[in-house]
Each structure stands twice: as C-alpha cells, then as structure tokens.
C-alpha cells in the first residue's frame, strides 16, 4: 500500500460566499493525498498498475472549475469525484486553500481539509 500525493495544484477559480468572489475570482491551492495499493506498480513499472496522476489532476481541475460558495463543498466534490472515477483509491484526503482571502486583513490563506471518512459519514 502506498500514499500518492499531488501537492500545490494551483487554480484560478470563482469560489466564495461574496458575490464579488464569484465574479472576480481568486487563486486556490489544492493538495491531494490518495492511498492506493502500489505493490503491482512497484514491480511492473507500468502505469496501468497504478493511478494515473494526470487523470487525477484533470478530475481535480474539473471540480475546481465549478463555482461553489464554500470550500467545504469544493473539497467534498473533489473526494467524491476521486472515489467515483478511481475505484482503486482506498482513502483520500484533500486540502483546499483560498489564497489571500478577503477577510479585511493580511491573511495568506484559509483552508479546509476533508478525508474520505468525513464524506462517507455524511453520505
């Protein structure tokens, strides 16, 4: 078993509670950690024996392109899509960060982190 991480995926998206955020947009960072059985790929050195990182990135990108009011909603959609499109993923954790959020002061980011257990408990 192994943990594959795709970290620092940066997107320009239109997520936010305020109307201006949904019009102007801002930068987001996504870190994704997926647990998969890697033993076959470790021996074979073949892409078809593991999860294709490019396909996973494209799934995250597609979810980031859909507007949401809350980071919690974005994170849940990402985990749900990962499990739906990649059945070999045993567990997933995603951290969605809004960079330079409009909160009235100098703030680097606000983040929401969810894992598969959080999503499964609420289903």
pLDDT averages per 10-residue partition of the chain, 123 residues: 96 89 91 96 94 96 96 97 96 96 85 88 61
Residue 84 main-chain phi, psi, to 5 deg: -70, -45
Exposed / middle / buried, residue 76 (Cβ in 10 Å: 0-12, 13-18, 19+) = buried
pLDDT of residue 118: 76
How is the chain split into domains, by residue range? 2-122
pLDDT of residue 3: 96
Four-residue CA torsion sign, 59, 123, 68, 7: negative
Select which of 61, 67, 95, 98 is catalytic. Answer: 98
The third-level CATH classification (topology) of the domain covering 2-122 is GTP Cyclohydrolase I, domain 2 (3.30.1130)
Q: How far apart are CA 17 and CA 21, in angstroms?
A: 7
78, two tokens? 């990402």
pLDDT of residue 19: 85
98 a catalytic residue: yes
């Amino acid at each position: 078993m192994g943990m594959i991480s795709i970290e620092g995926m940066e997107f320009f998206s239109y997520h936010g509670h305020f109307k201006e955020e949904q019009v102007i947009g801002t930068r987001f960072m996504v870190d994704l950690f997926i647990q998969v059985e890697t033993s076959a790929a470790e021996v074979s050195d073949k892409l078809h024996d593991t999860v294709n990182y490019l396909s996973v990135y494209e799934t995250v990108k597609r979810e980031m392109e859909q507007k949401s009011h809350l980071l919690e909603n974005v994170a849940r959609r990402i985990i749900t899509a990962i499990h739906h499109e990649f059945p070999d993923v045993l567990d997933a954790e995603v951290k969605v960060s809004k960079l330079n959020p409009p909160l009235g002061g100098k703030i680097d980011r606000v983040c929401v982190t969810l894992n598969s257990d959080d999503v499964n408990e609420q289903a």
